[in-house]
Amino acid sequence: MVQTTSHPLPDTASSPLPIAIVGAGFSGTLLAINLLAQGAHVVLVERQREKLAQGLAYQTKQPEHLLNVRANNMSAYADDPDHFLRWLEQGQTASSEEQANRFVPRPTYGRYLREQLMKAMASAPGRFTLKEQDAVAVEWRQDRAVLQLDSGEVVHATSLVLALGHVEPSPLPVFAHLPKHLAVSNPWSPNAIKGLEDDDHILLVGTGLTMVDVAMSLDAAGWQGRITAVSRRGLLPRVHAETGPNVAPVFPPQKHGSWLLHHLRERARQVDWRQAVDEIRPHAQSLWRLHDRDEQARFLRHARPWWDVHRHRMAPPVAQRLSAMHDDGRLSLLAGRIEAAEQLGDGVSVTLQPRGTDRLESLQVSRIITCTGPEGDITLNPPPLLAALLAQKRARPDVHRMGLDVDRRGHVLNTAGKPQPRLFAVGPMTRGEAWETVAVPDIRHQVWHLARTLTDSHWVEGDGL
């Protein structure tokens, strides 16, 4: 842990202390935009320039990586739902309906976010600072947080907001002893799919949207080798309908636990399953909060894989390409458990136990790429600032260790369960409290409310002034 030292206080007579945001992916960028709109001073800290206003999801340069949500629900602004559509239609000849139903390439959305940040900066001269450094520690004083950067520079701030996104995955234990070029733990690494030959056979561990992205990248690169994708259940993400949902608002289901699951299944028999899931989406956070930790844990253990594949769907063009790869024999899916993996010459011999059987099978592959998504336990591979806060006992993991323990307003809770008045978190780091905090429609509302809390704008709105 990096130790902080005493630093002189800045002169705040002419310039108020800023709000510091660590992380400039979607959550941090959008929070900065909202804060600037409210007149706040902002310092945005992001070590990796390529993540600025893009984050993990939108920093891809691959046009085959499409959004998993239609354009008509991708506005960055909670109070302007058609903003992204208007941005798309500039200079376009497609009809409004065609634009609304598009699954836009993720690099395009990344340009949209960056443009919004640039406009917000231009409209707030002197109120925005970007620090291309790593935040490593924080010292607390009565009226401020003193954030230490890896260069030794410090930032004095009224509040500190953690917009850290997802924690990078750690190597799976079964592959930990293998050379890194044979077992790639980060599928977003530039070297993940480099150097493959057309007669190679690779193993993708995980069959969700990350696997789909890697498969699309391999296909777009013209690689003709074989892919085997394996997960415990072998479930693929389901596919969006060709045209957008038109779901009327419904009251939250008056169900709980397994009865809620029965309700969802029954509703899916009455209407299209997509509609049944989309109806429940606006209530997902409140329904999650109604369940205690044991009930939530049972959901994560047993129902989460099924929820994920129905909730986080593939765009139809992506599903068509994936189906073609399967039909050509270039992609196969397995449901099972990986029991062992040993280096064999220039490749790896993998031992698998197919689901529902006692037998073991051997698979010879040239490379393994883990596509199981972000780290599931934030204490295993935390970035420096998060590690420092955990060590200080200023923060604690949520009960499921998916993120930080926070209250409804985003305050980070310390190890005693007390809200920290100057420490907040947004985005995927708050999954334990609200569950659905990883998609644009959820995060834009979350940061909209937090910006108003941090600038006291919510009091004006609440008083009707």
Residue ranges of the domains in the chain?
A: 19-65+105-168+376-463, 173-238+314-370, 258-311
Residue 322, both tokens: 């994936």
Asked if residue 372 lies in contact with residue 205, where contact means CB atoms within 8 angstroms, the answer is yes
Asked if residue 123 lies in contact with residue 72, where contact means CB atoms within 8 angstroms, the answer is no
d(CA 299, CA 294) in angstroms, rounded, equals: 9
Domains 19-65+105-168+376-463 and 173-238+314-370 agree in fold: yes
Range list of H helices, 359-456: 384-392, 431-434, 440-454
Burial of 155 (0-12, 13-18, 19+ CB in 10 A): buried
Exposed e or buried b per residue across 337-371, where buried means at least 16 C-beta atoms within 10 angstroms of its C-beta? ebeebeeeeebbebebeeeeeeeeeebebbbbbbb
Candidates 301, 110, 309; CA nearest to 210 is 309
Task: Specify the pLDDT at position 9.
Answer: 45
Task: Specify the pLDDT at position 257.
Answer: 84
Residue found under tokens 């790593």: 134
Task: Specify the pLDDT at position 93.
Answer: 57
CATH code for the structural domain at 173-238+314-370: 3.50.50.60
Task: Specify the pLDDT at position 51.
Answer: 74
3-state DSSP helix/strand/coil % of the chain, to nearest 5: 35, 20, 45
Task: Specify the pLDDT at position 232.
Answer: 95
Task: Specify the pLDDT at position 294.
Answer: 95
Q: What is the dihedral of CA 388, 390, 394, 400, to 10 degrees?
A: 150
- For residue 266, give the DSSP letter: H
d(CA 283, CA 280) in angstroms, rounded, equals: 5
Task: Specify the pLDDT at position 460.
Answer: 45
d(CA 210, CA 212) in angstroms, rounded, equals: 5
- For residue 303, give the DSSP letter: I
Task: Specify the pLDDT at position 2.
Answer: 36
Please give the chain's pLDDT, 465 residues, in tens: 333 344 444 554 456 899 999 999 999 999 999 999 999 999 999 987 777 887 777 878 888 899 999 999 999 999 999 999 999 987 665 567 778 888 999 999 999 999 999 999 999 999 999 999 999 999 999 889 999 999 999 999 999 999 998 887 778 999 999 999 999 998 988 789 999 999 999 999 999 999 999 999 999 999 999 999 999 999 999 999 988 777 778 888 888 888 898 889 999 999 989 999 999 998 999 999 999 999 999 999 999 999 999 999 999 999 999 999 999 999 999 999 999 999 999 999 999 999 999 999 999 999 999 999 888 889 888 899 999 999 999 999 999 999 999 999 999 999 999 999 999 999 999 999 999 998 898 999 999 999 999 998 754 444 333
CATH code for the structural domain at 19-65+105-168+376-463: 3.50.50.60
Candidates 431, 358, 410, 359; CA nearest to 166 is 431
